[in-house]
Chains A and B, each alone.
Chain A
Amino acid sequence: MTVLDLLGAAEEVHDRAPVVELRGVTRQFPGDPPVHALHPTDLTVRAGEYLSVVGPSGSGKSTLLHLLGLLDSPTDGEYLLDGRPTSGAGERERAALRATRIGFVFQAFHLLPHRTVLENVLLATVYSGVPRAERRERAVAALERVGLAHRLDFLPTVLSGGERQRTAVARAVVARPAVLLADEPTGNLDSASSESVLALFDELHAEGLTLLVITHDDEVSARAQRRVRIADGRLQEIA
């Protein structure tokens, strides 16, 4: 988002710096026969883009997201994050990149049930090195941003699905990542809750956040500015 401010709103998308860049990235799972979860893939997501990857179950969406999120490593090819290759990074470096450059939103929310909404968001600031004095302020601001200022001290267990997912979004953006990766963010939500989360994504996109949303749902995918279809581990841009 800060990138946007620097470059100016008038600039064309394709001139902006790539945040995520896959060059022939492949993921095979060993087995008999080996599973080609992702065939050699090229993909570039530039700063401020809102990209959706849509495909049926088992098509390789989660595999792609895990690679982009540095939770998994490609068997072949190179993945550049912020223009820098990640293949040489060690475990600590990858953890640091996850903490500072990537925000995750999962289908199952993954909120700690015994921690309040605010504490769940604070958790992301702990590992990402947000200055200690700013942590609380930033977490509260992130929760205000997703419309949950009135739920700070609630336990996630008493929230609606939509509120839980918006808490997860606040946690994902509190450390100001370069890209937000969402895996089936509306998969566990009813249509009203889905709509609230998707509206939030629209707003974050409008504010300049780079989003990559993975879904099997065409309607969800249609909200994105740019769409990619995935089938049997192969990506195809939707015009």
Chain B
Amino acid sequence: MTAVTDRVAPGDRYGVRDLLAEAAAGVGARPGRLLLTILGTVLGIASVVVTVGLAQTAAVQINQQFDAVAATQAVASAATSPGRDGQERALARLPWDAAERAERIAGVEAAALVSEVDLAGADVSAVPVHDPSAPRTSAPPVLAAGPHALEALQGRLQQGRWFDAGHDARGDRVAVLGADAARRLGVQRVDRQPSVFVGDRAYQVVGIVDDVARRTDLLGAVILPTGTARADLGLAAADELHLHVAIGSGPVVGEQLPLALDPNEPDTFTVGVPPTTSRVRDSVQADVSTIFLALGGVALLVGGVGIANVTLLSVLERVGEIGLRRALGATRRQIAAQFVVESVVIGLLGGLVGAALGVAVVVVVSAAQSWTPILELGMVGLAVLAGGGIGLLAGLYPALKAASVEPIAALRGGV
């Protein structure tokens, strides 16, 4: 008896092509109902895409606004106590090698001393000869900084470079100008090797810095290597140690830095480290995301039940068709497969429309907040597939129902 099936060439048997064609025709038969059927899935997928998309977008905004500066910047200075004359007196001095000591701590990515230099009346100018007839302008302040100050303060050079450890160690007469100071001093190009004069000493300008995340007073100052300031200008003590630390390493750095600066008297330093990566805000955000994802999950569940419901309804309505197909030689398995595939197609359509809607919402909301919308493409594809998965699950029970339809009973009614 198997001869009957064996006679037919495999390519001519009822196969995937026929299955897809029949399912597509079944799905397309009632476009109006199709819209209603996919509504739940559309809303569910859309809300998940919106939640994840906005979470990703917001996370990037928060990183840009807070993390890059607040969560990665630390500062240490000598502790002070009020002296007899009422002035604050430093209890200790930051060691001159404080930056090197700090950089040995895990989590510290760059460190540099920054100090104000007392000029004791010396002039700062771009010309060597003091011209008494020239209108007197207030000279830009002079700061001393370490070779890694650019990294430690997250600064950006407009031109040239920052001085290096060699300059610092040798006390070379080099300077970096803040962009505002450069403008005031009339220095435009560092490649012409201009000099600025502090008192009567010339310092070769090697770079111009036009942005820093902290200590924005750098932009208006002439910055010398700390070693140079000590040698030439009698810098007696460093004011602050600035650090750029890895996100989340604040507490560890806060604990270890005073010990690294002075193992015997760690209490003589105050260290300002980033608040513990704003755990509170993170957890609030996580809660919000969880709620939205849960809502999306509920919507998906409703969407799945919706598909299951309508597919079941369609099985009941199409009992006559099922009977006819069985009479024409369809097996139970072929009937079940058709309804599962129809349900998967409906789910995929819902996923597709939902993902598109979700992306649109993320883009519109981001535009309204002037954020950069961030959405991983893979996640959008995943959302579409999730729709198909929901369709698959939702279609299983109706498909079993369809497969169990008895052709005789089914054929008694009409199609």
Contacts and interface: CB of A to CB of B under 8 A. Distances in A.
B14 A129 contact: yes
B14 A71 contact: no
A124 interface: yes
A126 B323 contact: no
A100 B323 CA distance: 17
Interface residues of A, number: 39
Given A71-B408, A126-B18, A131-B9, A114 B25 contact: yes
B328 A96 contact: no
A131 B415 CA distance: 27
Nearest to A181: B327
A99 B414 contact: no
Contacts of A176: none
Given A72-B408, A91-B331, A110 B2 contact: no
Contact of A99 (B321, B328, B411): B328
Given A84-B1, A95-B329, A98-B327, A127 B408 contact: no
B376 interface: no
A69 B327 contact: yes
Contacts of A33: none
A108 interface: yes
Contacts of B324: 110, 112
B170 interface: no
B330 interface: yes
Nearest to B2: A93
B12 A129 contact: yes
Interface residues of B, number: 35
B328 A123 contact: yes
Given A93-B4, A93-B5, A110-B324, A128 B329 contact: yes
Contact of A126 (B14, B30, B408): B14
A58 interface: no
B11 interface: yes
A128 B328 contact: yes
B28 to A, nearest CB: 8
A46 interface: no
Among A84, A88, A109, A114: residue with most chain B CB under 10 A = A114
A84 B3 CA distance: 11
A150 interface: no
A132 B12 contact: yes
A127 B25 CA distance: 16
A123 B326 CA distance: 11
B13 interface: yes
A96 B321 CA distance: 18
Contact of B330 (A69, A95, A109, A130): A95
A104 interface: yes
Interface string B9-27: 1011110001000100100
A111 B4 contact: no
Nearest to A90: B1
A80 to B, nearest CB: 11
Interface in A92-108: 92-93, 95-101, 104, 106, 108
A33 B4 CA distance: 39
Nearest to A98: B329
A108 B331 contact: no
A131 B25 CA distance: 21
Given A69-B327, A128-B328, A110 B414 contact: yes
Contacts of A124: 328-329
B325 interface: yes
Among A71, A84, A96: residue with most chain B CB under 10 A = A96
B162 to A, nearest CB: 74
A89 interface: yes
B326 A95 contact: yes
A124 B411 CA distance: 16
B332 A129 contact: no
Interface of A: 66, 69, 71-72, 84, 86, 88-89, 91-93, 95-101, 104, 106, 108-115, 119, 123-124, 126-132, 171
Interface of B: 1-2, 4-5, 7-9, 11-14, 18, 22, 25, 29-30, 320-321, 323-332, 334, 407-408, 411, 413-415
13 contacts: A71-B326, A88-B1, A92-B5, A93-B5, A99-B329, A104-B327, A110-B415, A111-B415, A113-B415, A114-B30, A127-B14, A129-B14, A131-B12
Given A114-B30, A131-B12, 14 more contacts: A69-B327, A84-B1, A88-B1, A91-B331, A98-B327, A98-B329, A99-B328, A100-B4, A106-B411, A110-B414, A124-B329, A126-B22, A127-B325, A129-B12
